[in-house]
Structure formats: C-alpha cells, structure tokens
Amino acid sequence: MKLKNGDRILVTGGCGFIGSALLREAKAHHDNIRIRVIDNLCNGIHENIEGLGAEFIEGDILDVEKSQRALDNVDVVFHLAALPFIPDSYKDPGLYFGVNAGGSVGLFLGALEARVGLVVYVSTCEVYGAAQTFPIDETHATNPVSVYAAAKLAAEKVAYALCQEHNLPVVILRPFNTYGPRDSFPRIIPELITQLHKGIELRLGNLDARRDFSYVEDIARGILLAANTPEAVGKTINLCSGKEISVQELAALVARSIRINGYNIAVDTARLRPSDVNRFLGDGTMARELLGWEPETTLEEGIDRTIGWYRQAGRWQWER
C-alpha cells in the first residue's frame, strides 16, 4: 500500500527523537494525514509532538488494552517503541528482552488481528554484531552481542514469520547510528556536545570505534519512504550513509562546530562496553535502489544543526 491523504498512522514511541521526526516528516508530505501516538514517556517527551495535531495515548506497548485501542482503525503502524540505550541493557537484560522482543511480538499480533495495512518495524544495525565484511549489506550474517540487539533481532524474525505465514505486510528497517536534535540519551554525539560545552576535558570510551552516522531527518524520510514503496513489503533494508568515522575524529568535528580550538581526551574505562562492536559501516544499495533514499545531510551539516538546536533550546546537554 501507499500512504494516502486521510490515512491514519500509528507511531509507537512517537515522542522520541526519531519518532517525532517521523511525525514532522509525515505532516510535511501528506495533507490531512491522521496521526496517533502511543508512548509511555519513558524515553521521549510530549513536548516533541506538540503542534503536530497527534492523538496521544500515554501507555506502554506491553499494556494489551492500550495497544488494542491504539491499533483500532489504523492504516499503517510505524513501530519504534523500545528501550534503546544499550548500556542500560547490561543492568536489566530481562526487561530489555521483554519490552523489545515481547512487546514487539504483541504489537505485531495485534496489528494482524486489527487487519492493519502495513507495519514498518524500525530495528537496528546492532543485529549484525561484529561484521566479517564491509560494507555490511542485508545478506550479512546476524550475530548480536547485546541483549538489546538480540531482542531486536528476535522481533525481526517474528515479524518476518508473520509476513510469510499470515500475510502481515511488514517492512523491516535497520538504521545505522542516528543522531540529531531531541535525543534523550548520552549517545556519542550528544555526549560530545555536552562535555565540550562544559570545558575542554573529554572523557570517552573506545576512541577507535568507527560508526556510520545519519541525521535524524534523513532517517525519518527513509522510514516514510518505506511505507510508500509497495515493493518493500517482506524486505529488510539498511538505512545508512555508507561512510564511517572514528570517535576520535568525531570529537574533532564537534569541537570545530562549537569553535573550540584545543581539548584533551582521556579514556574512561567505565565507558567501555563489555561487548562493544568496533566498526559499523553499512551498504545502502538496497535503500537507494528500492526506496530511492540516501542521506541528504552531511555529517558536518548535521552536527551544526544539532548544536544549533541545543543553542536555541537552551539545553546544553542531553536530557532523559
């Protein structure tokens, strides 16, 4: 199917920084689209969707009654609700698996029962784990090394099985590292901005880790395109820039954007993950050829925009 004027979409986790960017993208490209959001405000904040005219249900995807209400009379579901911050998954792996796998499965089954026209499931590049070849395309083996990633992969497998067995129309997306305004976790770019605003001493983890970053508005556009491409149903698609940068190089970019000429970096062993993946570099060929999508925002432009948002919001640190 394709989104049409007057369609109702449900965005789970719509108050988060990616979910709310998706709402703005949908409103910009589809007149009279009706938006419903379910979010327990564990990660996102309601302020992110103010002025978008969204019907809001405060609730958890594990709450069957609220999930059923959210799915009622919906054309397309964009499923982004998750516990997303990997370091926290080390502390409570059971909770992470229960929400990210169990909650997703419950939502997929609810969507099947409600005869939803399409489910777009936003997974993660973390399902690949430590890759053997680069760039990583969708045929690469999956080998998650965190419970967070294992739970996201488990949800992927169930979504695909329901697509094959019960004809639930599903598109699975694997964004690589997303950054931009409204992020509510100390991922590396918000953390660099916060630390450099406070001074010139940086305390970081793995300086050699290399990541593939895309700006949040580009990722939102890719998610929306997936819902407008009937040929994408049943497919798993990377959303990535196809470029990589190390944490140390990233620090230099952020410092330059903030106009800091000199800084010091120290490795903080408390920030090292027990099972970190050293390198993510994605192959975006399928997204480009099937969806007509590729990032439009360079990393330098995206960092400048993100810092500009921090300045305008008067919020010189990530906030949960």
Give pLDDT tens digits for 170-222.
999 999 999 999 998 889 999 999 999 999 999 999 999 999 999 999 999 99
Indicate the number of domains in the chain: 2
The verdict on residue 47 lying in a domain is yes
**Cβ within 8 Å of residue 220, ≥6 positions away:** 18, 21, 22, 24, 25
Q: Which range marks the domain in which residue 270 is found?
A: 188-210+244-276+300-313
Q: What is the DSSP string of 15-37?
A: TSHHHHHHHHHHHHHSTT-EEEE
Residues 88 and 232 in one domain: yes
- What pLDDT digit, counting tens, does each position of 126-169 carry? 999 999 999 999 999 999 999 999 999 999 999 999 999 999 99
Alpha helices in the chain (DSSP H): 17-29, 64-71, 86-91, 93-97, 104-113, 147-166, 188-198, 216-227, 247-258, 285-286, 299-313
Yes or no: say if 228 and 191 are a contact pair by the CB < 8 Å rule. Answer: no
Q: Structure tokens of 2?
A: 């394709």
Per-chain mean pLDDT for the chain: 95
Distance CA 257, CA 306 (A): 10
Distance CA 277, CA 296 (A): 26
Residues 171 and 225 in one domain: yes
Residues 196 and 145 in one domain: no
Q: Residue 253's domain is classified under what CATH number?
A: 3.90.25.10
Residues 158 and 262 in one domain: no
**Cβ within 8 Å of residue 72, ≥6 positions away:** 114
Residues 202 and 142 in one domain: no
The verdict on residue 1 lying in a domain is no
Residues 164 and 307 in one domain: no
Q: Residue 142's domain is classified under what CATH number?
A: 3.40.50.720
Res. 320: pLDDT tops 60? no
Yes or no: say if 294 and 176 are a contact pair by the CB < 8 Å rule. Answer: no
Residues 134 and 200 in one domain: no
Q: What pLDDT score was predicted for residue 319?
A: 52
Residues 147 and 265 in one domain: no
- What pLDDT digit, counting tens, does each position of 211-265 carry? 999 999 999 999 999 999 999 999 999 999 999 999 999 999 999 999 998 999 9
Q: What pLDDT score was predicted for residue 1?
A: 66
Residues 27 and 152 in one domain: yes
Q: What pLDDT score was predicted for residue 316?
A: 63
Q: Structure tokens of 199?
A: 């001074």
- What pLDDT digit, counting tens, does each position of 91-111 carry? 999 999 999 999 999 999 999
The verdict on residue 3 lying in a domain is no
Residues 143 and 272 in one domain: no
Residues 164 and 91 in one domain: yes
